[in-house]
Structures are given as C-alpha cells and as structure tokens.
C-alpha cells in the first residue's frame, strides 16, 4: 500500500483514493450538485501571474516551506500573501 502526504500534511492512502474513485464513478450517489455561474470564491479583480525569481538563504526558504505547509498552502501562494501583506501595510503607513 502506498501513501501520499500533500503539503497540508493529511495522509492519503490507496484505500482512500479507491473509495473516492468509486464514489466518483457512481456519480456521488445521494448528493445534489447545484450549478452556478462565475467563480466559487468572492468576485475579485485578478491579474495574470508571472514567474519571478528571488534570492533567499536556504534556512529562510526552509522556514517559508514549513510555514506554508502548516497553513496548507503552496510556497508560491505563501510568498504572494506575504508580499501583498507587506506592501499593503507599507502603503497604508505612508
């Protein structure tokens, strides 16, 4: 039996995957899905994302990876959130 541990730390086993596949193949019996238009999250203006390169020490990178994992998010999402928070606070202070 193999096991996968995603960034959020919740272990996923072969048995769990088999169960999910079975539920999906049977059409999620008993569940009603209500279609909707638009995004599933609040309407916000979005811009396309572009890759950027930053230089950080290995120890800082490990801290970022650890905290991102603790929060159940990717390192990219964590970095975007931290940068946005910092620049927003800086702009409010000036």
Token code pair at residue 24: 């999906």
Condensed to tens digits (0 to 9), the pLDDT of residues 6-63 reads: 888 888 888 988 998 988 888 777 777 777 776 656 656 677 888 999 999 999 999 9
Can you tell me the distance from the alpha carbon of 88 to that of 94, in angstroms, rounded to the nearest whole number? Answer: 10
pTM for the model: 0.50
Residue ranges of the alpha helices (H) in the chain? 14-25, 58-70, 75-93
In the Cβ-directed half-sphere of 85, how many Cα atoms lie within 13 Å? 6
Beta bridge partners of 16: none
Domain range annotation of the chain: 58-93
Condensed to tens digits (0 to 9), the pLDDT of residues 66-92 reads: 999 999 999 999 999 999 999 998 888
Torsion of CA 17, 6, 41, 67, to 10 degrees: 160
């Amino acid at each position: 039996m193999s096991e996968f541990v995603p960034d959020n730390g919740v272990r996923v086993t072969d048995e769990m995957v088999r169960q999910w596949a079975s539920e999906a193949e049977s059409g999620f019996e008993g569940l009603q899905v209500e279609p909707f238009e638009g995004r599933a999250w609040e309407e916000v203006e979005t811009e396309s994302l572009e890759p950027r390169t930053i230089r950080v020490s290995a120890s800082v990178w490990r801290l970022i990876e650890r905290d991102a994992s603790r929060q159940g998010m990717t390192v990219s999402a964590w970095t975007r959130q931290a940068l946005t928070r910092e620049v927003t606070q800086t702009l409010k202070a000036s």
